[in-house]
Structure 1
């Protein structure tokens, strides 16, 4: 086994270009990522702009991490948003195209997974668990608010089945709509968390949960109305955090009881928020639900999951 041999992960999501390297002992050798640029006051990018920025960013990031004497022996890449046949988004074609080219030129294996599976793999790798055949996965981000049943397969992959989630607005969209209305830069998650940390009070917002189904459009509308009425920005930011954390807790609590599963892995940019994490751990512990949390930098979009998946698949071939 050579210490210079690494597995490369590539992820080109809606708002982050990411690459990562994992060595043959399973540790992170290097990683780099770049947030896509959004004009002030805007709440997103068109797919064509995402493709352009990813195409520009990827060579820079690869040059940053791929330095001699490292040798790439396998590649993992996010090829689509979700592990579904009809799941498609142009942004992921940038990373997939480069990964296929590198694999062909270097005659090395390529493993394709979905962006959602990349989050799962990054979470498992960073949190070192759950080591269970069945557990719940909460994926909360700008484009996803899913509670999934993860079931380990004979080939060590995981089948993901919808067990709950938002029926309207996604958690990250809730944060960003309120954040931009408060004058914060998109994506607003980190800035909103910093603002909430200065709050002396917390403005109450509604929480709408029925079994595994949640609604976030109502809380978002309530928050925007409070901004128009002159609400304290910090207290409102704290209210957004509480509403999201409590929404997640109630949804997980309901589904965990129904399916008799008491391990949950948290992934996605929204659950990198320290307050949301603490609230969930404390509340779910009362129901004896164990919460697994990756290091905060591996909750948002990153390529460590793709690299970890390639490592797991590649090393199994040596056994």
Structure 2
């Protein structure tokens, strides 16, 4: 670890949240996020609207992050930014801004893999949370990704299994849409599930590889189930919303836990972490925590603030890249399709 204070400004713009963070070594000084509410009208993120909103938000968000950190931009040692994966239009806004600011301040640039940053959020300084030792397994779950990653070092990661179609976050949100819940619907399913019976309804689990995922079939089966029930009772959703949400969440969580068990069995690694926006789900957190008693795993659950897309996770990844002098060329370009083992 570097003893001299290293100040890094990080920018995250991979999807619909514009975020900026300032880190001093491994301690977050500020983590500012501007959400885009306009997408709720469309039931999902509209890429063109997202990139326009980033253009409007990025200057005030960066200014606020620097002010909250109580530093001057001249104190910064480097600029970190999300290179990918994500929506190309959104990534271009953050990439262009980061490059311009780094040039104007004459400081190094750090390009960050968004998926690696989700995993590395576990290394943000926090007296209440333990950091996972290498090697560990990380279940990375979000609206766009579902994968089990073997993490052998800060930037040495390999995918053991991933979704062959839809991501788990998409499964939650699309199912919520079927239930006429507002977007984003995943947190609402979690909220309603707390009051329901998780065993009220059974949904089939997809048959794929031992560490792979599939949620497309589950979404379709859920749609047909709701349509069938509504034909018999038009008020079915309204009368049984809590049980429906609890049963769906139970099924999805069980799928995730079963795959993790297979990964632990395959690798022998019992240090298991979760990351990504869906890792904020209370049932997933609870079920993972229970494995400490049931299977003698050691589990690592990030703070809520660092689960969804945020610049804090980009900042910590930038800090470890900075320590390795792993700087980017100013000609670096955004890459919407980066894999978790790219930029290692």
- TM norm. shorter chain > 0.5: yes
The answer to which of 98-107 and 65-74 deviates more is 65-74
The unaligned stretches of length 5 or more in structure 1 are: 83-87
Q: How does 1:169-318 map to 2 (within 5 A)?
A: 169-200=166-197, 202-208=200-206, 210-228=209-227, 229=229, 230-231=236-237, 232-283=240-291, 285-314=293-322
In 2, are the aligned partners of 1:12 and 1:94 still within 8 Å (CA)?
yes
Q: Give the whole-Å Cα distance in 2 for the aligned partners of 1:69 and 1:271.
A: 32
1:91-140 per-residue CA deviation (whole Å, 9 max, x = no partner) reads 212111111111111111211111101211213326542121x2212111
Distance 1:51 1:40, change over 3 A: closer
Distance 2:15 2:98 in 1: 18
Residue equivalent to 2:54: 54
- Determine whether 1:74 maps to 2:74: no
Q: Is the 8 A contact 1:137 1:149 kept in 2?
A: yes
Q: Any idea what the Cα deviations from partners look like across 1:47-105, whole Å, max 9, x if unmatched?
A: 222211111111121122222543322221110118xxxxx733212111111111111
SS of 1:164's equivalent in the other structure is: strand
Q: Is the 2:13–2:82 Cα contact (8 Å) retained in structure 1?
A: yes
Distance 1:38 1:188, change over 3 A: farther
**TM-score by structure 2 length?**
0.81
Q: Tell me how large the CA RMSD over aligned residues is.
A: 2.3
Q: Aligned to 1:207, what secondary structure does the other structure show?
A: coil
Counterpart in the other structure of 2:21: 20
2:158 is aligned to 161
Q: Deviation per CA, 1:273-317: give whole Å up to 9, x if none.
A: 111110122146422322211112211111111111223344567
When structure 1 is superposed on structure 2, of 299-308 and 217-226 the one drifting more is 217-226
How far is the alpha carbon of 1:39 from its aligned partner? 4.2
Taking the aligned partners of 1:57 and 1:121, their CA distance within structure 2 comes to 25
Is this contact kept in 1: 2:123–2:316, CA < 8 A? no
Name the counterpart of 1:139: 140
Count matched residues.
305
In structure 2, relative to structure 1, the CA distance for the partners of 1:104 and 1:214 (3 Å cut) is same
The answer as to whether partners of 1:41 and 1:183 remain within 8 angstroms in 2 is no
Q: Is the 8 A contact 2:39 2:46 kept in 1?
A: no
More strand, by proportion: 1
1:154-184 Cα shifts (integer Å, max 9, x gaps): xxx4222221122122101111011122222
1:149 equivalent in structure 2: 150
**Equivalent-residue separation in structure 2 for 1:46 and 1:280 (angstroms):** 33
2-side partners of 1:39 and 1:316: how far apart? Answer: 39
Alpha carbons 1:124, 1:294 under 8 Å: kept: no
Take 1:185 and 1:107, find their aligned partners in 2: how far apart are those partners?
45
Partner Cα separation in structure 2 for residue 294 and residue 110 of structure 1: 27
CA contact (8 A) 2:270 2:296 kept: yes
Q: Sort the Cα spacing of 1:44 and 1:92 in 2 relative to 1 into closer, same or farther, 3 A.
A: same
